[in-house]
Each structure stands twice: as C-alpha cells, then as structure tokens.
Amino acid sequence: MKDEKDAIVVNKEFTEECTVILTAVADALYAIGGKWKLMIIISIARGNNRFSEIQKKVTGISARVLSNELKELELNSFIVRKVTAGYPVSIEYELAPYSNTLQDVVSSLKEWGIQHRQKIKDDRSSGKSQTIV
C-alpha cells in the first residue's frame, strides 16, 4: 500500500468482485442447496427413476420430504415427472436438460467429498480431534 489512491481503487474492485461471487454462490445454494436436491438429481441420473427407488438410494430421506423436493425440482426445470397411463399408472422422474448444467458442480463436489473423507480418516488416525463426517 504505497499509493493510497490505487489501493482504494483496487480494494473497491476487489470488494465488488467479492459481492459478485457471493451473490452467485448464494444464488446457486438457493437453487440447489440443502441436504437433498443434488443427491436426488444424481440418483435419478444414475437410473433411479421411481419414487421408491430414489427414496432407497437417497439414504435418510422421508417420503414427505422427497415428495416436496421432487415438486420443487420439477418446478425449477431440473426434472420431469412422466406419467404413463395403464393400470396401475406408472410414474417416472427423468432429468430435464437443465440438470446437465450441473455437471461441474457435481463432479467438483464429488471429488472434494472423496478427498475430505480421506482427510478426516487421516486426521483421526494421527490423533487429532475432529467432528465426524
């Protein structure tokens, strides 16, 4: 900080950029945050298209919560609810194209999650205290 004017300008840009990032991340978390949404999308992507299949894959989710999440995901164009006539009527959830935009997010979270689990394990065997994952 030798030149104060520059410093101010720089800091202002820095600050504005911070707000941009924060806003973007907040937007993302608003749309796909929470415990379940991404996991539901992943599990549908991997071929679990029925309500009960999804519920089995996404460990710990209750029917009520799953039902609500599916509605929201459909409303936001991440998935499509397909009803096929017949007896009984068959209902399947499929990914809508918009879910493909989540590729990078999902894969980075997956990579991070894997290394994080490893790190936790290392921390514990090296004797550090740690909250459990």
Partner DNA sequence: CGGCATCCAAATAGATACTG
Partner DNA sequence: CAGTATCTATTTGGATGCCG
Applying CB under 7 A, which residues contact DNA?
A: 34-35, 50-53, 60-65, 67-68, 70-71, 81, 88, 90-93
CB atoms within 10 A of CB 92: 15
C-alpha dihedral over 104, 109, 112, 113, to 10 degrees?
Answer: -150
User: Is residue 97 reached through a cis peptide bond, with omega within 30 degrees of 0 on the bond before it?
Assistant: no
Any idea how long the chain is?
133
Looking at residue 126, the DSSP 8-state letter turns out to be T
Q: Quick check: 63 binds a second copy (CB under 8 A)?
A: no
Question: Should residue 73 be labelled a site residue for a second copy when binding is judged by CB under 8 A?
Answer: no
Closest approach of Cβ 72 to a second copy, in Å? 8
Q: Which member of 67, 68, 90, 115 binds a second copy (CB under 8 A)?
A: 115
Cα separation, 94 vs 100, in Å, equals: 12
Which positions lie near a second copy, rule CB under 8 A? 6, 8-15, 17-19, 21-35, 38-39, 41-43, 45-48, 57-59, 72, 75-77, 95, 98-117, 119, 123, 130-131, 133
